[in-house]
Amino acid sequence: MFILPQTLMFPPVSMADEDGLVGIGGDLSIDRLLLAYRSGIFPWYNADEPILWYSPNPRFVLHPDELKVSKSMQTLIRKEAWTFTVNQDFASTIRQCRIAKRKYQTGTWIHDAMEEAYIRLHEAGYAISAECWSNGELIGGLYGVQLDRVFCGESMFSLEKNASKFAFIHVVTYLKELGIQLIDCQVHTDHLESLGARMISRDTFLTYLNEVT
């Protein structure tokens, strides 16, 4: 297994193991995180572990033009009962993603160091949050890292049914208007598959990433 040196670098993702693990160690500085995302790599580890860096194969992505909006979601959006915002409250969004209860998952990989690192990325202008509000209350949302024309989604949460879908559908439109051409969903979830995300090979993902960033 590749142990990252103090210098700012990552090994080729072709060195990843079958789970997509590329390397261990390093830090969560802004420069290293940006290099990681631009290389098709992201951190994913528990608080009691060293920093683990992944580049899974295949990769789960969404092309904005392939977004699927169900009739029930179209109806919900037309009701205009909820409000969508971007970067209205990044800190609360990542905190809710951290504490959200999920099926088949007892803990969270969004621990103190990760939360602080992405808040720094946000303050530097590289991480954004998308929020869903109901009567002034934050009920759903997501956050991720925005590159030149690729958005790397990190986590999402819902306090009410479909609130994260509402935020995701709206942010896809928002990002498309900014020129985003690909949304990286990293690993498969049924939730995102229902919205149009699909698997592509890591090589295809990296080729696409290199072409558009």
Q: What is the pTM of this model?
A: 0.94
How crowded is the C-beta side of 23, counted as CA atoms within 13 Å? 21
Phi, psi of 94 (to 5 degrees): -70, -35
Across 94-98, 148-152, 190-194, 207-211, least confident range: 207-211
H helices of the chain, in order, are: 30-38, 71-79, 90-99, 112-123, 163-177, 190-193, 202-212
Which whole number is the average pLDDT over 124-150? 97
Closest among 66, 60, 85 to 141, alpha carbons compared? 85
Q: Which residues of 74-109 are buried (b: 16+ CB within 10 A; e: fewer)?
A: eebbeeeebebbeeeebeebbbbbbebeeeeeeebb
Structure tokens at 3: 């142990």
- β-strand pairing of 182-186 with 150-158: parallel
The span from the first CA to the last CA of the chain, in angstroms, equals 28
Percent with pLDDT over 90 in the chain = 91
Q: Which domains does the chain have, with CATH numbers?
A: 13-57 (3.30.70.3550), 60-212 (3.40.630.70)
**pLDDT band, very low/low/confident/very high, at 1 (cuts 50, 70, 90):** confident
Higher local confidence (pLDDT), 209 or 194: 194
Q: Is the pLDDT of residue 3 over 70?
A: yes
Counts of helices then strands in the chain (DSSP H, E) = 7, 10
Which tens digit of pLDDT belongs to each residue from 96-106? 999 997 664 54
Amino acid in the structure at residue 64 = P
Which tens digit of pLDDT belongs to each residue from 36-90? 999 999 999 999 999 999 999 999 999 999 999 999 999 999 999 999 999 999 9
Closest among 77, 57, 67 to 193, alpha carbons compared? 67
